[in-house]
Amino acid sequence: MGWAWLFLLLATYPWLLGADLAGDAFATSGLVFFVSGAVLIAPCRRLRRWQCVLLAAGAGFLFEARRPIPDGLLALPLVGFAVFLSTHRAWLRSTPRMLQAAAAVNALACLLWSAGAAHEADLPLAARLGQLALQVFFATVLGAVALVPLALTQNAVMDRLGVPPPEQP
Amino acid sequence: MDQNRQGARASYVALAVFVAGWILLPSGVRRLNREAFAEFQAPALHLLGRSRDLATYWEKRSRDAEELSAAGRDLARINAGLELKLKMLEDVRRENIRLREITRYQASPEYLTVVARVATRESASWWQRIVIRKGRNDGIRPGAPVVFGDAVVGRVAAVHLSTSEVDLVTSPGFRCTAYLEGDELNRIVLVNGVAAASLGSAKARVSVIPHDYTMPAGQPARVTTTGMGGVFPSGLTLGTLDGAAYATQVGNFKESLLVPSRDLYNLQEVSVLVPLKQNPGEALMQADQFQ
């Protein structure tokens, strides 16, 4: 189904909004609840590559839209991750591997937007390494923790849309 | 398998071409893309804000009648006091107009006040922002000051159709000139946001404090806007000095931290002061947004 990526993006959006809400509740701590990287994992096992690419671009641009980050700095690398993950689907067959992938993609994507935001705010990144490390660590943990409920939602939507199940080893 | 690898290679090449094209694209196209994704999220933010309002409404509905009548009585007293104050201020306004006419004083910029509810708050080390549920459709323009009562909240950073993003006083992009309470000579100091420390609440920095400035005893010194630059009206409270002022590296001036006058992350409603006439700073900001 050609539009599966769009329906999947719409179904994933409440999770992205939920992450924003959590960020709102903990605003005084300065932590961003970032899950845009983790949303790619389950779809990359089942969707076609071009659909994964569009989903990744959508998730990235949704995050960038309301934040002072250079345009495309998050969305385009997420597209790169989507291409990589959809090429190596065999790596995502087991749950522990999926968790690892979610943590890694989320952490890398978080590192990218943090660096981009520091550049945009004209602040030396080196002076804020502590905060950056904390944010990346938090994104790593959150990526792994959020993957299970995210994957459950996304798999349910893909089942409904008639997307073929992932290949078994 | 080979086909899969070839497909991936083609995808990487296509991505590289797209990235190159994206960099070379006119900024207007990128801005349009950003705007489209921001507008896509606007209904969800409105829904979120309204459901919060509804929760507050039902929380207030659940209070007992006695408590409500006591609150109503207190409000009536406050209203009576304010009505008296309004009449006095009206006299002052008339006198002010008369004196301005006599001295041919150039009128300070006038503002249209747009009250807006806060939809979400967003804070990272690199920015502190709130999203409000009013936008271009309500006349809000980039660069407009945002206040709550007489306290400065921040400045409109980006405007969408029905939502706007506000950079808070503590956000690194925020800059403003100010006066310090207790400085008889009214020397100008600079206020700018500072990137937040790990898990710490954000503050702003007050710099270029004269060496001989001493804070008033027994109370934190208020920092107020100067009205210069035409963005913020004069006399608004930015916050208070954090006590310990320390010498900068140059050594000619002192620096201190600014504690915002309100808890910026607990605001439910703010007022946007939209200048009736566009000022030069605002025009520059609009140009930045279109770049």
Which pLDDT value is given to residue B230? 74
Q: Looking at the structure, do residues B55 and B125 belong to the same domain, yes or no?
A: no
Q: What is the pLDDT of residue B289?
A: 52
Give percent above pLDDT 70 in chain A.
97
Write out chain B residues lying below 8 Å of A10, CB-based.
none
Residue with tokens 């700095």: A73
Residue B197 and residue B280 share a domain: yes
Asked if residue B21 and residue B124 are part of one domain, the reply reads no
Q: Which residue has the tokens 């994507």?
A: A109
H helices within A26-120, ranges in order?
A: 41-46, 49-65, 75-87, 95-120
Query: A62 to chain B: which residues are within 8 Å by CB?
Result: 37, 40-41
For residue B135, what is the domain's CATH number?
Answer: 2.40.10.340
Is B189 in contact with B170 (CB distance < 8 Å)?
no
* 3-class secondary-structure state, position B239: strand
Residues B156 and B28 grouped into a single domain: no
* Chain A from 64 to 83: CB within 8 A of any B CB: 64-68, 71-72, 76, 79-80, 83
- Do residues B143 and B250 both lie within one domain? yes
Instruction: Tell me how crowded residue A96 is: count the other CB atoms within 10 A of its CB.
Output: 8
Q: Which pLDDT score, from 0 to 100, does residue B252 have?
A: 77
Range of the domain at B41: 2-61
Same domain, B10 and B115: no
Q: Are B225 and B218 in contact (CB under 8 A)?
A: no
Taking an 8 Å Cβ-Cβ cutoff, which residues of chain B contact chain A?
4-5, 7-8, 11-12, 15, 18-19, 22, 30-31, 33-35, 37-38, 40-41, 44, 48, 120-129, 131, 157, 165, 172-173, 195-202, 265
Partner B contacted by A129 (CB < 8 A)? no
Under an 8 A CB cutoff, do A64 and B34 touch? yes
pLDDT at A129: 81
Confidence (pLDDT) at B8 = 84
Angle B133-B135-B137 from CA coordinates, rounded to 5°: 120
Q: Could you tell me if B122 and B44 lie in one domain?
A: no
Is there a contact between B199 and A134 if contact means CB atoms under 8 Å apart?
yes
Q: Across the interface, do B195 and A76 touch by the CB < 8 Å criterion?
A: no
Is the Cβ–Cβ distance between A74 and B50 less than 8 Å? no
- Whether B73 maps to a domain, the answer reads no
Amino acid at site B141: R
Domain for residue B67, yes or no? no
Contacts of A66 in chain B (CB under 8 A): 38, 41, 122, 131, 165
pLDDT, averaged in runs of 10, over chain B (291 residues): 79 91 89 93 92 90 88 94 93 90 76 91 84 93 90 92 92 89 88 75 84 82 86 88 64 83 84 81 57 45
Tell me the shortest Cα–Cα distance from B58 to chain A, in angstroms.
Answer: 20
The predicted pLDDT at position A165 comes to: 84
| Same domain as B123, residue B260 | yes
Q: What is residue A10's three-state secondary structure?
A: helix
- Mark yes or no for CB contact B126/A114 under 8 Å: yes
Q: Are B151 and B236 a contacting pair, CB within 8 Å?
A: yes
Q: Is residue B99 in some structural domain?
A: no
Chain A, chain B: beta-carbon pairs less than 8 Å apart = 132
- Positive or negative: CA dihedral A104, A109, A112, A117: negative
- Kindly state whether residue B28 falls inside one of the protein's structural domains: yes
Residue B77: inside a domain: no
Task: Tell me, yes or no, whether B48 and B119 share the same domain.
Answer: no
- The backbone torsions φ and ψ at residue B253, rounded to the nearest 5 degrees and listed phi first, read -130, 170
Per the CB < 8 A criterion, the answer to whether B209 and B162 are in contact is no
* CB-based contact B196 A80, cutoff 8 Å: no
To the nearest whole Å, the CA of A150 is away from the closest chain B CA by 19
Same domain, B130 and B237: yes
CB B122, CB B267: distance < 8 Å? no
Chain B hits for A128, CB-CB cut-off 8 Å, are 125-126, 195
On whether any CB of chain B is under 8 Å from the CB of A118, the answer is: yes
Question: For position B77, what pLDDT does the model report?
Answer: 94
Where chain A has pLDDT below 50, the residues are none
Tokens linked to B76: 């009536």
**Which residues of chain B make contact with A71, given a CB cutoff of 8 A?**
22, 30-31, 33-34
* pTM (predicted TM-score): 0.84
Asked if A134 and B198 come within 8 Å (Cβ–Cβ), the reply is yes
Pair (B134, B199) in one structural domain? yes
ipTM of the complex: 0.89
* Cβ neighbours of A114 in B, within 8 Å: 124-126
For position B290, what pLDDT does the model report?
Answer: 45
Cα dihedral: B233, B235, B237, B238 (round 10): 60
Shortest Cα–Cα distance, B127 to chain A (Å): 8
Tell me, yes or no, whether B11 and B143 share the same domain: no
Write down the pLDDT at residue A64.
Answer: 92
The verdict on residue B147 lying in a domain is: yes
Domain membership of residue B106 (yes or no) is no
Residue B189 lies in a domain: yes
Q: How many domains does the structure of chain B reveal?
A: 2
Do the Cβ atoms of A79 and B15 come within 8 Å?
yes
Cα B238-B244-B249 angle, rounded to 5 deg: 95
